[in-house]
Amino acid sequence: MADQEERVPVMQQVLDNHFLLLFLGITIPTVIYVLWGVMEVANIAVAR
């Protein structure tokens, strides 16, 4: 019973892991905004 009371919820563990948050906060916009956007522009055919 005592163990159950002391167990930290998963979401709180995520929010308390500052470097995991840093990883997510860098990776998500880098992939969804920067890389996806740059790939779209890089795939535009060059005019001849």
What is the C-alpha to C-alpha distance for residues 45 and 16, in angstroms, rounded to an integer? 46
Q: Which listed residue (4, 5, 7, 11) binds other proteins by CB under 8 A?
A: 11
- Interaction pattern, residues 14-43, with other proteins; x per rule: CB under 8 A: xxx-xx-xx-xxx-xxx-xxx-xxx-xxx-
Q: Is residue 27 a contact partner of residue 33, using CB atoms and an 8 Å limit?
A: no
Q: Which two tokens stand for residue 42?
A: 């890089």
Binding stretches for other proteins (CB under 8 A): 11-12, 14-16, 18-19, 21-22, 24-26, 28-30, 32-34, 36-38, 40-42, 44
